[in-house]
Every structure is written in C-alpha cells, then in structure tokens.
Structure 1
Amino acid sequence: MKKLGIIALTLLIQNVFAQTNRFVYQVSMKPDASNKNDIKTENAYLDISPEKSMFYSENRLKRDSIMQKAFQGGGGRGSINREQMEGLRSNINYSIEKDKANQKTFFKDRIGRDIYSYEEDRPLNWKILSETTKIGEYKVQKAETDFGGRKWTAWFSTDLPYQDGPYKFGGLPGLIIKVEDSEGDYSFDLMKNYKIAEFPAMNQFGNTIKVKRTDFVKQQEKFKSDPMSFMSQQGGGGFAQTRIMGGGGNRGGGGNQNPADMRKRMEERMKEEAKNNSNPIELK
C-alpha cells in the first residue's frame, strides 16, 4: 500500500508539472503604414510547457474549432458560417514555436497555398536596465533590444519564472509582461493566465516547406508583387479558385464564374491585403 501511495504521489507531481500554462496577451498593431490611426487589437496565446512554447492568435484557434466541427459533422467547407469566419479574421497569421532544450525559435506563416517555416537566425541581445515599476500585480524590470529594424522596450517579471515572452521575444530572467516598439506601432500586454491540459492541435492546410529566413523574405516579396503568378508556380490554380469561391463566390446563386473575373477579384483582394499590411512587425 505504501508503495502504491508513493507511485500515486509521483504521478500526481508529474501531472502538475506536465501542465501547460497559457498566457493571454492583448496585441495592438498599426499594420497600415498610410493610416496609423487604424489600430487593430486582438488576443494571442503564449502556451508554455517545460519543453516548448507556442505563440499564436486566439482567433486562429476559434477558426480551427469551427472548421473541425464542420468536417466532423460531415458538412465540409459548405457548412461553415462565412460571416462567423470573417469575424474571426486575424492580423496574426503566423505561429511561433520555441524549443526550450535546444534554444531555438521557429516561425511559421502561410505564403499562397503552403506553410513556410524557418528557424530564427538572429539572437536577441538584451540590455537589462535597473528601472523597475509595477504592472498589475507584477513587479517588473525594464530591458531594451533592437530587433527586426525596430527598437523594443520590454518589462519582465521574475515572479513568473519563464524566460519567455510573446512573439519571438524571450531570454530574460523572467516572463515578459509588456513589450512595445519605440514608434508605438506594436505592443503586447499580458492580460491573464491559466492552466490548460495540453497544447491544442492546429489545423494545417497545404504543405510545410522549410527554408532559411532570407529565403522566406524573398518568397514573401515575390508573392506580394505577383500573387497569381506565385500561386500558379505552386501548382495552385485550382486552389486559387477554391479560395475565391470560399470567400463568397457563390453569392447571387451563380456557381459557374468567369475565371478572368475570379482572377481579377483575387488580385484586388491581394493588393488590399498588401496595403493593409504595409507596416509589418519586422521592417528588416
């Protein structure tokens, strides 16, 4: 009996330590360089376990849940509520995974029909300052770094013993409670935290292509300059049509659409998206 009690206690301790902590950040962004008054705000999750952490949009998880229910119900894409999905559109389309053991950061984002993944190759060189203050219930300390063409100020707390933070930020002696750039274009503010049982499974459509960061930037620029040509090279002709039809192409009842009209509509949408993302979080 004594041995069983020890085993049970060991399993309980393992279960407690195996739990994942979710930190919810409010992300404020000014992604349109021509209209800095247009501030986008949404929540993002930083899920942390002893082995890794994941940073991604709350809306992505909600969209994934809707799509999963639709497919499990046998209805497929046709049963998905378009308005509901539109309401969950996000400015945070990327996800970031940090491998704790190997001290590596991996960035994933979609370009066209595929997911591109790269390992971050630039170290974060923090300057820790003596200045302290309080944010909410946490005593925090100031740190600064230059990253991605921006100057960043972070406030971290040793009350939360995680050398982590939102986006690609981390490596300080405690969790980053707040981080913002000097222009006020991007800020991440911790709102709350709670425990979850495990990391959520992310839906993923298309192939995952591993590249170097510099190649990712090149591919992104190619896509922005000529999205239709880029997707054709990916073998995405059919995919492009699916995307347009899925975006409300059946409105008005007509199922058969002129491919030239569809192409034009998609090009217009891509140009609008490029304009709306003309002030990215990383400038270089």
Structure 2
Amino acid sequence: MKYPFKIAIAIVFMTQFLSAQTSRFVYQVTMKSDSTDKTNITTENVILDVSPEKSIFYGEGRVKRDSIMQRMRETRNFDRSAMQNLRSSIDYIVEKDLVKNITYFKTRLGRDQYIYEEDRKIDWKILPETVKIGEYEAQKAETTFAGRKWYAWFTQDIPFQDGPYKFKGLPGLIVKVEDANEDYSFDLQQSKKISEFPSFDNRGGNPIKVKRTDFEKQEKQYRKDPVSFVTNSFSQGMPAPPQSMGGGNRGGGGFRADPDFRKQMEERLRDEVAKNNNPIELSK
C-alpha cells in the first residue's frame, strides 16, 4: 500500500520540477514585407520562451539592443552605428497568459509604448496530413487570422499548446507556420532549457494600455505620416537625443535638432514605412 503513495509523491515532485523549467524555442522568420518587391526577402531569428503558465515571443536582437543601450547610458557613450546593426522588423513583444488564455501585444509608436489584449480568437481546423519536420512528427492545421490564411504544423512531442507570434491553441507546439501567400513563415531551428524569462528595457515608462482597435487607429496615423507622428511625439515631451547621437541644443526655443540628423531621420522613417507595406496583419 505504500508504493502507490510513493509513486504519487514522485509524480507531484516531477510535475513541480517540470513546471519550474522554461523552454526556449528559436525560430527563423522569413518576411516579404514589401509587396512591390517580392524578391526582397529578409530573415532573422525570433525567440519563444515558454513555461506551463506563460510565454514571451520577441526578436533575438531585442535583448542585444537593450543590453547595448544600457551600456551606452552607463558610459554616456552613444554609438548610433552599434544600434543600426541591430535594427529589426520584430520590434514588438507578444506575451501569453497560458492559464487564463489571454494574449497581449506590446510595441512602440513614436515615443510611447502601447499594449493591448488580443480580442480575436484563433479557430483551427486540424487536417489529416502529417510530415516530419526536423526530428518531430508534425500534423497540419489551418486557420484564417487578421486577413491572412495560415497553415501550421504542430507536434505533440512537445506538449506546449503554443507557437510563435500570436499563434496558439493546437494540441502541441507549432514548429512551423506560414501564410498561404508565403509572405511570412516561422520555422523552428533549435530549443533549449533556460533558468528564467528575460527582462526587457522598459524605455519611456509603463506601456499605455489601449483597445486593439484604438491601437490600429494610431498605427494607421503613423503609417500615413510617420514624420509628423514622431515630431508630435517629440513636441509632447520626448527627451532630446544626446549630441553624440546627432542631437542639437536646448535654447529659448526648446530643442533644435541638427538639420542633417533630422533630415536623415525623416528619410529613414519614410523609407521604412514605404518598404513595410505588407504587414503580417492585413485587416481586422
């Protein structure tokens, strides 16, 4: 009679041990963000950190960029070239509460950070097709989300009902997901155990919590005229960049940016928006 009790204790211990573990899954994301030039393909690594309770999805360069920014602030030595080398199209974070089944999206527009709760449900249709992806036996599923039709392959060998970006809810980890037009694709590259979730530099203070629809209105304004949007952000209290980053001086008329730096910034903003006309989410 003692053996069942010991087995039960062992199961509880093992469950607690596993729940304390956090898994890191590294994906390669392939993007065709310019609809006028489908030959322009960019790739970068993204990370999904998962525990039984929550997950965080972010660009690999985000942690590196935050580390460099922290070092620059400590040394007061600002090097724009170091930051340029870590520019990323994945400048957002997706956090999932896997217990309450809530997804949060966090990103920056202008000087402000925004966060909203995803209010759209992802309804999957599981298909009979199976294929081996890497070392995993995977099964196919499909869904329509945010204006795109998506195909996903999940494996029950990894018992996290999660995946990259906002995708979740399949009976196993999503190891690959791509849209029907092959504009976006997330492919699992490697996995490992980590001791804890990363912490991110919360520049600009706490994020502004808004409804998804309100955020999309702000994003639409930014895409329409990014220069005016950012200029308004500066005029509403955004700290001026240091002179070593091209900033100007503060005088009776307030902050005056170096004309060459300002022109470069405006051209870069317009160019980025023009070339990113094929976002991952196309509609409501």
TM score, norm. by length of structure 2: 0.86
**2:40, 2:240 → 1: CA distance?**
31
User: What residue is the counterpart of 1:125 in the other structure?
Assistant: 123
Matched, 1:266 2:265: yes
Separation of aligned partners in 2, 1:197 and 1:120? 28
Identify if the C-alpha distance between structure 1 residues 80 and 193 changes in structure 2 by more than 3 Å, giving closer, same or farther: farther
2:203 pairs with 1:205: yes
Q: What amino acid is aligned across from residue 143 of structure 2 in structure 1?
A: T
1:99-142, Cα deviation, whole Å (9 max, x unpaired):
01110000011000111111111100100001111001000000
How many angstroms apart in 1 are the aligned matches of 2:139 and 2:15? 32
Is residue 111–residue 220 contact of structure 1 (8 Å, CA) maintained in 2?
A: yes
Report the Cα distance in structure 1 between the residues aligned to 2:144 and 2:106, rounded to whole angstroms: 22
- Which secondary structure does the structure 2 equivalent of 1:281 belong to? coil
Deviation, 1:64, is 1.2
Unaligned runs of 5+ in 2: 1-8, 251-255
Give the deviation of 1:238 after TM superposition: 6.0
Match of 1:86 in 2: 84
> SS state of the match for residue 201, structure 2?
coil
Which of 51, 59, 71 does residue 49 from structure 1 map onto?
Answer: 51
* CA pair 249-19 structure 1, distance change in 2 beyond 3 A: same
CA deviations over 1:143-201 (Å, ceiling 9, x no partner) = 00001111100000000001000000010000000000011100000001001110011
> Which portions of structure 1, spanning 4 or more consecutive aligned residues, are displaced by more than 6 angstroms?
9-13, 254-257
Shift of 1:17: 2.8
> C-alpha separation between the residues in 1 aligned to 2:100 and 2:20?
19
Q: Number of residues paired by the alignment?
A: 268
Is residue 214 from structure 1 mapped to residue 216 from structure 2 by the alignment? no
Letter in 2 for 1:188: F
The separation in 1 between residues aligned to 2:196 and 2:174, in whole angstroms, is 22
1:185-264 counterparts in 2 under 5 A? Answer: 185-207=183-205, 208-234=207-233, 236=235, 239=238, 241-242=240-241, 248-249=245-246, 262-264=261-263
SS of 2:241's partner is helix
Contact 1:228 1:263 in 2 (8 A): no
Between the aligned partners of 2:50 and 2:257, the Cα distance in structure 1 is 48
The Cα of 1:226 is off from its aligned counterpart by 2.7
Structure 1 match to 2:135: 137
State whether residues 241 and 262 of structure 1, in contact with CA within 8 Å, keep that contact through their aligned partners in structure 2.
Answer: no
User: C-alpha distance in 1, partners of 2:134/2:22?
Assistant: 22
| Equivalence for 1:60 | 62
SS in 2 for 1:239: coil
Identity score, percent:
54
Give the gaps of 5 or more residues in structure 1.
Answer: 1-6
Q: Is the 8 A contact 1:46 1:53 kept in 2?
A: yes
